[in-house]
Structure 1
């Protein structure tokens, strides 16, 4: 796939999906001089990062935080724009609070001395392990994020070159196993190993390379975009349109068109043909290869069925009336742990079993962003990891959703007592909604799980081996899920695709 000369026959490009990965890809293509058309079946931008509005409340459906904002600043700079002029990004302090059933807590912050104090408060004997864990995390960040995560891994020889480094960093060890080697206290083991859940990974099976997230938090902080992540998506659309590109909503792609092994455009479900020699799919990689592309060779139905997918998500969004000054001890991000950690994770990922107990991630954006609710009110969402729909006996959410919501509510009462009497607007999403809204295989929340043999070269590549002129971005491809991952996938795309014919750049860049 190194010979991309055929792409120079035209300057048109189609991007399937207006998620953050697809919009970032469109921006980079626009900066290279392509005339880009972005198509999305939803009624607005953002994909999993979109939002809905009910009775004055904004419910941000997907990601709520931004780490490594420099990736976004670099993306904007490539387009001759200033990210901070277009998006109001606020650094959070603290990042989040973790609460356990015994009443103990851990508050995560960027300041290293504050983090040392938190570790010492729970377990003084674990301070040396914490110091070593920071070094471990930084080493994996430089290798796994700055190196592998920002370049294509579609050549097998590239994998062979980095295998010794993988071995040296014990990539075969899981995140949880690595944390267990550095911490004695089970609460700290959880606090420094749960992060893979934010990108759909089982901490007890995902490669320890993902402890790099701890360094990301320490080095770059945790941020919130005023107006929610959808505000970033909307700003991206403005850049694309300023470049001369087009973003169309309510348009679903039915097939990627090929001729002689070369992409020739797409056909929508309404039968419209949109020609382009370059196609970028931000649809889930599983959906791209199982539904949109005929005649697959490597990513066959059989191979896709053998992939392990991330867990599903149950998310309850609700708005409460007159509560802005209530629950003063509840911050922007709270993690409520149930009585089990490893057992619950195994139920979700391995057994495919919906448990009675749960752990919850609770988002209260109105602590930082009053625009998420009417004046004096609050917006919340409570997210619970649950099994995806691909297990032998999938959960029937039509029967279980109401029962599960009551279980979630009972746990939330320990954090925000009396909240149910204050609810005036709500929305609910189950794995079935993720399947239907985002066309996510098995209703998974984050596409293919980032296990070691489903990462780097083993993951669907950014440049497809199935057809010339076809590229993939987003959570299901390299480097993986999460806002930094999908933005980086577009950066990798930018390194693979040549400038549009004639070397034309966008008018904005040319003017500079």
Structure 2
């Protein structure tokens, strides 16, 4: 082989992790001409978006809503496919209902007039402020999501160019502070500021850029994929396989191989070595740098740096099914958010004190009202999620001791506030705690969403999509730029696609002979 001849593995790519970031990265690399091998330790694709089945109930384990379906449409189009042929996406109306301890409710919908009527019903004096908040949200969407969120942020100059926008849009203020400046009713302040919890952030401290979610929901809607996010992940696997890629499940990566400062492949826990032209990690950046690159000296993402980082909160999730309840509790829809009597105090307990409070806020997912396939006929499938402290540092919650009592507490709240009599009809039950997230997803400190998206852990400050530590290594997923949440995770692969060149063209037998001579 001559000096200029292509490397024997230059057309191959290995993707570590079959979460939505890894799946979308594999699709985009396949569209660029790479022969892709995607490897995941779980038995189903989807990562946090995978599912499990108990007694006929299919439980979506993680994300339950799809916003900005355009990112999927674009992804499929880049692969020469039609997203809506492969995935049945249904719009939600209302998106979700928020309930407070005083009995008041707030239904979130796409129609602006309906939303203004909801605001007026709760607090007429806040209608003008709500209108201003929507304008604020759109401006930050254009700057934060369509602007810097869809571009690489791996060079310091990428950040410097955006500083005027951060100043103009007061990125130093928190989401809650911005909402509080626009509306006075404490319920509306909560309703306009809680969204960072869906990506692992504390509304009292996360940058106000994340109010963009309100516009994102209003403009593009909130959707449910029939069959759950698992069905979307399975559809992505089919695209990868149709491209000629390979998906290997139930296999764990032990190490990323590095030679002369360059990633050259991986070694599995079984000792198999695979070589590749490029390596992409959809594992959490903390796991990637601390474990998969444990034998490589780091300059930026050292163990000490990762230990000092602020990680997102943990999650307590109770998946349960009920017998003969289809049509029961008719006022409980697909998505319900049930608030603790405390908002700011509970957030402080979770993120700052790292204290497991007795009160809780609950997001209740009831997909069986939309998708009967997730439960046996006549039954219901639910999951109830509560934000809790992560496992970082000394004195973290002992979930082996606390899990069952916390579940019983959650059951009592649901019994009293939403689902009277449900506990007598349980037909399936499974609990995930931060311990589960740490063990199942290799999530550092059991964090639900990797690094918390504070201002100095976002954009350039977040782990880059092209590794700062090793050449030829790329990162996608919730822990890297632009962050957590389905649209951002898929967009991370869009950024990756801008950084990775097209695969070298395969040489014919004649060209290979000429090159060798």
> TM-score category by the smaller chain?
over 0.9
Question: Partner residue of 2:312?
Answer: 310
For 1:192 and 1:297, how far apart are their aligned partners in 2? 39
CA contact (8 A) 2:444 2:450 kept: yes
Question: Partner residue of 1:105?
Answer: 105
Question: Partner residue of 2:478?
Answer: 475
CA contact (8 A) 2:9 2:275 kept: no
For 1:9 and 1:363, how far apart are their aligned partners in 2? 45
Q: For 1:205-220, list aligned pairs within 5 A.
A: 205-220=205-220
Label 1:6 to 1:333 Cα distance change in 2 as closer, same or farther (>3 A).
farther
For 2:158 and 2:276, how far apart are their aligned partners in 1? 30
For 2:226 and 2:127, how far apart are their aligned partners in 1? 36
Q: Which moved more, 1:342-351 or 1:390-399?
A: 390-399
- Cα deviation for residue 432 of structure 1 reads 0.0
Q: 1:502 is paired with a residue of what secondary structure?
A: coil
Question: Partner residue of 1:181?
Answer: 181
For 1:386 and 1:273, how far apart are their aligned partners in 2? 39
CA contact (8 A) 2:317 2:432 kept: yes
Residues 359-379 of structure 1, C-alpha deviation per residue, up to 9 Å, x if partnerless?
000000011100010111000
For 2:422 and 2:482, how far apart are their aligned partners in 1? 39
Q: For 1:62-101, list aligned pairs within 5 A.
A: 62-101=62-101
For 1:29 and 1:8, how far apart are their aligned partners in 2? 17
CA contact (8 A) 2:326 2:380 kept: yes
- Cα deviation for residue 466 of structure 1 reads 1.0
Question: Partner residue of 1:424?
Answer: 427
Residues 255-309 of structure 1, C-alpha deviation per residue, up to 9 Å, x if partnerless?
1001111111000111110101200000001000100012222111111111100
Residues 401-447 of structure 1, C-alpha deviation per residue, up to 9 Å, x if partnerless?
11101110111012010000010111110000000000000000000
- State TM-score, norm by structure 1: 0.97
Is the counterpart of residue 453 in structure 1 residue 456 in structure 2? yes
Label 1:101 to 1:310 Cα distance change in 2 as closer, same or farther (>3 A).
same
- Cα deviation for residue 392 of structure 1 reads 2.7
For 1:143 and 1:6, how far apart are their aligned partners in 2? 40
For 1:330 and 1:262, how far apart are their aligned partners in 2? 53
- Cα deviation for residue 6 of structure 1 reads 8.8
For 1:199 and 1:168, how far apart are their aligned partners in 2? 24
- Cα deviation for residue 391 of structure 1 reads 3.5
Q: 1:466 is paired with a residue of what secondary structure?
A: coil
Q: 1:223 is paired with a residue of what secondary structure?
A: strand
Question: Partner residue of 1:437?
Answer: 440
Q: For 1:14-413, list aligned pairs within 5 A.
A: 14-293=14-293, 294-413=296-415
- What stretches of structure 1 move > 2 A for 4+ residues in a row? 5-9
Question: Partner residue of 2:512?
Answer: none
For 2:394 and 2:335, how far apart are their aligned partners in 1? 34
Question: Partner residue of 2:515?
Answer: none
CA contact (8 A) 1:7 1:469 kept: no
Question: Partner residue of 1:500?
Answer: 503
For 1:7 and 1:34, how far apart are their aligned partners in 2? 13
Instruction: Give the one of 483, 488, 493 matched to 1:490.
Output: 493
Question: Partner residue of 2:467?
Answer: 464
Q: 2:435 is paired with a residue of what secondary structure?
A: helix
For 1:391 and 1:65, how far apart are their aligned partners in 2? 32
Q: 1:75 is paired with a residue of what secondary structure?
A: helix
For 1:350 and 1:7, how far apart are their aligned partners in 2? 50
- Cα deviation for residue 7 of structure 1 reads 8.1
Residues 94-146 of structure 1, C-alpha deviation per residue, up to 9 Å, x if partnerless?
00000001000000000000000000000000000000000000000000000
For 1:431 and 1:6, how far apart are their aligned partners in 2? 45
User: Where in structure 1 are there 5+ consecutive unaligned residues?
Assistant: 505-512
Residues 197-223 of structure 1, C-alpha deviation per residue, up to 9 Å, x if partnerless?
000000000000000000000000000
Residues 199-257 of structure 1, C-alpha deviation per residue, up to 9 Å, x if partnerless?
00000000000000000000000000000001000000000000000000111101100
CA contact (8 A) 1:140 1:212 kept: yes
Label 1:110 to 1:277 Cα distance change in 2 as closer, same or farther (>3 A).
same
RMSD between aligned residues: 1.2
User: Where in structure 2 are there 5+ consecutive unaligned residues?
Assistant: 508-517
Residues 62-120 of structure 1, C-alpha deviation per residue, up to 9 Å, x if partnerless?
00000000000000000000000000000000000000010000000000000000000
For 2:80 and 2:497, how far apart are their aligned partners in 1? 15
CA contact (8 A) 2:281 2:476 kept: yes
For 2:225 and 2:481, how far apart are their aligned partners in 1? 25
